[in-house]
Amino acid sequence: MKVVVTGSSSGMGLFISEMFLSKGHDVFGLDKSNAIIKNPNYHHFVCDVSKKASLPDIPDVDILINNAGIQNEFFIFR
């Protein structure tokens, strides 16, 4: 399967990407940061998913994990 994971360079996105890779899937990671994963079935794109023009064209995607996000103090409950 072809899997796209946003926010793939750290946290849950990294874990999810590695899990799909361990099952033999092709994983396409999108993140603002450089790739951490070293695997022949992993393809990394440095981009900002909030900007449509920066997104790569990845045809025939089977699974999309939309994990990218930011956290700032505006969203932290006090």
Contacts of range 43-52, beta carbons closer than 8 Å, 24 or more positions apart: 44/8, 49/6, 49/7
Instruction: Provide the pLDDT confidence category of residue 69 given band limits of 50, 70 and 90.
Output: confident
Q: Count H helices, E strands: the chain? A: 1, 4
Global model pTM greater than 0.75: yes
Q: pLDDT tens digits, residue range 1-28? A: 999 999 999 999 999 999 999 999 999 9
pLDDT of 78 reads: 54
Complete domains list, the chain, with CATH: 2-69 (3.40.50.720)
Instruction: Provide the pLDDT confidence category of residue 38 given band limits of 50, 70 and 90.
Output: very high
CB 14 within 8 A of CB 42: no
> Which of 14, 43, 12, 10 has the alpha carbon at shortest distance from 26?
43
